[in-house]
Amino acid sequence: MRRYYILTMGCQMNKNDSERIAGFLSSLGYVAVERPEDGNLLIINTCSVRQAAEDRVCGIVRNWQALRRQKTNMIIAITGCMPGRDESGKLRRRIPGVDLWFGIDELPRLPVWLKELNVEQEKNFDYLNIKPMRESHSRAFITIQTGCNNFCTYCVVPNARGRERNRSLIDILNEVRNFVVKGGLEVTLLGQVVNHYIAPDPESFSKENPFLSDHFAALLWELNQIAGLERLHFTAPDPQYFNAVQAEALKLPKQMNYIHLPAQSGDNEILRKMNRRYTREQYVEIVKKIRVARPNMAVGADLMVGFCGETDEQFNNTLDLYKECDLDISYNAKYSERSGTPAAKAFKDDVSREIKKRRWEELQEIMEAQALRKNQIYVGSIVEVLVENCEQGICSGNSREMKLVNFLGEPNLVDTIVRVKIFEAKEWVLKGKII
Ligand code: SF4
């Protein structure tokens, strides 16, 4: 029996890649298992964004090697970000005992390596065309693009995933249509710079599409025409590519009422050193445009503290940006130097751990206070919830604003959209009653 176990680390993109790996392996006759000790093909889909994530991989591989000593036919494979950025082979040497070490784009070669298909058959596969095996019936992550050309100085992605590659419009539409036919309700488009999508097959856009001057906005319009699809979301756009046409497309009816717009810093000098190609002022302007297009839209960001040379004043500019843009949430990170990145070569990681921690905590505090305040506006109102879980009589799911909502309900509500009246708002959860 062929059994695989996948451990996924990192972002949504990696989660979607793991769904692709699962789909691919199931097409080869593999079945998934829930514990590594039950598998004979163990895969870690790695993240390289922080050193801690890479250190964790070393520990996991050591544990798996101990399992293998009791089970000789076990294969250990590493994919995701680590192989892609390991040009020098340093990481491979650091983690011995791994049988397969491949970038996610090389997934189609897996059968060859496993000696289960001959070399000719690999020509039929392309990473972007591999069908994912999804855990949820109602929600899907759809990759529209992989790789990145931006080279933010702190980031490993351009090395790990290579240059930007866009999926054909026709493939994206087919994947979404097939998902919706089977009961799918919500789609999240994934790409490293998702709003820089450029369709390789622009002739596939409908003639009546009003957004043809911007392929990403035009894609949103096409998806809005799919009957049965209820909610559309995307992550993550880059402020430098956000334009008036995209702002207009946010008004489309299936668009979620939440946008995640990474900012990273509120200080222009830090943004310049990060090679983020927008200024604080431009970011603020974009958020204003978004709120003009859709006044109730919740806005979230990624923010980083402790980047090389960041002073107290520069950090305060990030705090100010948070308040000025009245953000709903931010995913806050402490800068972690990654070998091989332009920042590691050009700058000193000279903000101490203690200062990074203190700044991160300060930012978290502001975020929590603001989230609590902003969530109060939902008290007394009715929100639409796509139910994801129901355990012991408590159902939960996200509203269109991506707020987690809990309410009393039955398991048969899972994978449906219900209306819930909110009676209590906390920082990270709204509590309500189904109506
Ligand atoms: S846009 Fe910047 S942060 Fe995002 S994947 Fe590309 S290089 Fe990395």
Residue with tokens 């798996």: 64
CA distance 150 to 20: 25
In tens, the pLDDT along 266-309 reads 999 999 999 999 999 999 999 999 999 999 999 999 999 999 99
Q: Is the CATH number of domain 3-128 3.30.70.2340?
A: no
Q: What is the secondary structure of 246-303 as a DSSP string?
A: HHHHTTSTTB-SEEE---B-S-HHHHHHTT--S-HHHHHHHHHHHHHH-TT-EEEEEE
Q: Is ligand 1 within 6 A of the CB of residue 263?
A: no
* One CATH from 3.60.15.10, 1.10.357.10, 2.40.50.140, 3.30.70.270 for 379-434: 2.40.50.140
CA distance 311 to 145: 36
Confidence bin at 28 (pLDDT 50/70/90): confident
Q: Is ligand 1 within 6 A of the CB of residue 46?
A: no
CA distance 160 to 28: 26
CA distance 215 to 199: 6
In tens, the pLDDT along 220-259 reads 999 999 999 999 999 999 999 999 999 999 999 999 999 9
Buried b (16+ CB within 10 A) or exposed e, 187-226: bbbbbbbbbbbebeeeeebeeeeebeebbbbbbbbbbeeb
Output the CA 238–ligand 1 centroid distance in Å.
Answer: 9
Residue 51 vs residue 152, higher pLDDT = 152
**What residue's CA is closest to ligand 1, atom 1?**
150
Q: Are 163 and 145 in contact (CB under 8 A)?
A: no
CA distance 366 to 431: 22
Q: Is the pLDDT of residue 402 over 70?
A: yes
Bridge pairing between strands 145-146 and 165-166: antiparallel
Q: Is the pLDDT of residue 208 over 50?
A: yes
Q: Which of left, alpha, beta for 80 (phi over 0: left; psi -120 to 50: alpha)?
A: left
Output the CA 162–ligand 1 centroid distance in Å.
Answer: 11
Whether 130-376 and 3-128 are alike in CATH topology: the answer is no
Contacts for 273 with CB less than 8 Å, ≥ 6 apart = 153, 307, 308, 309, 343, 347
In ligand 1, which atom is closest to the CA atom of 192? 5
Side-chain half-sphere CA neighbours of 276 within 13 A: 26
Arithmetic mean of pLDDT, 44-53: 86
Q: Is ligand 1 within 6 A of the CB of residue 192?
A: yes
Output the CA 237–ligand 1 centroid distance in Å.
Answer: 10
In ligand 1, which atom is closest to the CA atom of 161? 5
Q: Is ligand 1 within 6 A of the CB of residue 150?
A: yes
Two tokens at 363? 């930012």
Domain boundaries, the chain: 3-128, 130-376, 379-434
Confidence bin at 87 (pLDDT 50/70/90): confident
- C-alpha to C-alpha distances, 191 to 165, 225, 244, 357, nearest whole angstrom: 9, 21, 20, 30
**What residue's CA is closest to ligand 1, atom 2?**
152
Q: What average pLDDT does the chain have?
A: 92
pLDDT above 90 covers what percent of the chain?
73
In this prediction, residue 119 carries a pLDDT of 36
Confidence bin at 115 (pLDDT 50/70/90): low
Two tokens at 31? 């079945």
Residue 120 vs residue 352, higher pLDDT = 352
In ligand 1, which atom is closest to the CA atom of 264? 3
Name the residue among 387, 383, 375 with its Cα closest to residue 411: 387
* Fold annotation for 130-376: pyruvate-formate lyase- activating enzyme (3.80.30)
Q: Which of 157, 238, 273 has most ligand 1 atoms within 8 Å of CB, for mutation?
A: 157
Residue with tokens 């960001």: 301
Output the CA 153–ligand 1 centroid distance in Å.
Answer: 9
Output the CA 417–ligand 1 centroid distance in Å.
Answer: 34
Q: Which of 14, 143, 148, 338 has most ligand 1 atoms within 8 Å of CB, for mutation?
A: 148
Q: Is ligand 1 within 6 A of the CB of residue 193?
A: yes
Q: What distance separates the 2 farthest-apart alpha carbons in the chain?
A: 62
**What residue's CA is closest to ligand 1, atom 8?**
155
Q: Is ligand 1 within 6 A of the CB of residue 155?
A: yes
